[in-house]
Amino acid sequence: MIASDKLPTTPPLTQVWQLQVRAIRLQAHGIVSYELADPDGHDLPVFEPGAHVDVLAPGGLVRAYSLASDPRDRSHWLLGVLKEPKAKSTGGSIAMHEHVRVGQLLTVGPLRHVFAMATQAKHTVLLAGGIGITPLKSMAHELVHQGASFELHYCARSAQHAAFSAELLALVPPDRLHFHYDNGDTSQGLDIAKLLHSHAVGTHVYFCGPAGFMKACAASSAHWPTGHVHTEYFKAPDSASVATLAGSFDVILTKSGERITVGPDETIVRALELAGRRVPTSCLSGLCGTCKVDYLDGEVEHHDYILSDDDKKTCLTLCVSRALSPTLTLDL
C-alpha cells in the first residue's frame, strides 16, 4: 500500500504482465470480480483512477476492462465483469465467466488512461449505472485519499444488481454515497435531469453505464461547460454516426514510407491488415484507445468517444476515424 498523498509516476503504457487470478467473487447478479496479482508477490504498477487494461481472455479474445481497485494499493488489481447474454455478447465476458479459474495466469495490459480525472476540481459527481461502477470505484478510492469533495450515485435495478456494495459502504462516507434502485422502471430511479440541472463552478461530473443511462446523463449535462463532463462508454451509442466518405483516401506510414489506400467501406485498421500491417486493437468501436496513434498531416474525421478536443489535434483512433483530406500521414 502506498502511503504518500500523491500517486507515483504512471508507468509506460506498452508493458504487458502475466498476472495470477488470486480470487473470484460474485459481486452482484451477473457480475463477477477478478482479483489479479503478480504470481511472485511483486508490487503491480500504479494506475490512474479510471484506467483500464486489455485482458487476453480464454479463446484468444482481447477485451478491455476497467480497474476497480484502489490505485494506491499495489498488491493487486480488481476487475468487474458483467456476463452479457449470448445474443448480445461478443464472447469476452462469457469466456471470462465460464473459463477463468482461481490460480490461472492471464495476460494483462497495457494500462490505458482515457478516462482520467481532472485535477483541482472543487467538487466531483460520480454517476454509475450497473457495471459502470468499475472505473468510478477507483475514482472514489482516490477522492477519499485526497479528502476531496465528492458524491457517488449508483443506479441499478435492485440491491442484488449493485456490485461492490460492501466495499463502497466501507469506503465512502454515508452522506456522499447514494444507491438508486428502479426495479426495472426508470421513472422510479434517480432523477438525473434534476441532479445535473445546475452547474456549480469547479464541479466535474463522470458517468459510465449502459446505453440508456449514458443517453440520459449526456442529455442532462449538455449545458455544462466544456471540459467538465467526462464519460466512458462500454459500447458505442445506438445513435453513433457511421463514417461514410464517398470515396477512398491514402494513409502514409512515416516509418516505412508505405502508402496504403483505404476504401470507402473499409476502416484504416482493415486496410492496414490487408496490406500486412497489423496494429493492436480491442473494441473496434472508438472506445478503448488501443489503436490510438499520432498523425502528422491531413484532416481527420473523428468518430471515437475517448479523445479530447486537444487530443484530436494530434491523435486518432484507427478503428473508426477516417480522412477528410486525400491523404493522412500516420506516425507508424
pLDDT (average), residues 183-195: 92
Burial environment of residue 253 by CB neighbours within 10 A (0 to 12, 13 to 18, 19 or more)? middle
CB hemisphere CA count around 79 (13 angstroms): 29
pLDDT at 86: 75
| DSSP 8-state symbol, 278 | -
Task: Write the CA distances from 261 to 35, 285, 292, 325, 331, integer angstroms.
Answer: 44, 21, 19, 13, 16
Q: What are phi and psi of 138, to 5 degrees?
A: -65, -35
pLDDT at 289: 79
Query: pLDDT tens digit string along 151-171?
Result: 999 999 999 999 999 999 999
The two beta strands, 229-233 and 249-253, are unpaired
Query: pLDDT tens digit string along 72-127?
Result: 999 999 999 999 887 676 788 999 999 999 999 999 988 988 888 998 899 999 99
Cell digits of residue 308? 479530447
Alpha helices in the chain (DSSP H): 92-99, 133-146, 165-171, 192-195, 211-220, 268-274
What is the C-alpha to C-alpha distance for residues 315 and 146, in angstroms, rounded to an integer?
31
Strand segments (E) across the chain: 17-28, 31-37, 52-56, 62-66, 77-82, 105-112, 123-129, 150-156, 177-181, 203-209, 229-233, 249-253, 259-262, 292-297, 300-301, 315-317, 322-323, 327-330
What is the C-alpha to C-alpha distance for residues 49 and 47, in angstroms, rounded to an integer?
7
Domains in the chain (CATH in brackets) are: 17-112 (2.40.30.10), 123-233 (3.40.50.80), 249-330 (3.10.20.30)
7 versus 208: the higher-pLDDT residue is: 208
What is the C-alpha to C-alpha distance for residues 36 and 105, in angstroms, rounded to an integer?
9
Cell digits of residue 319? 478503428
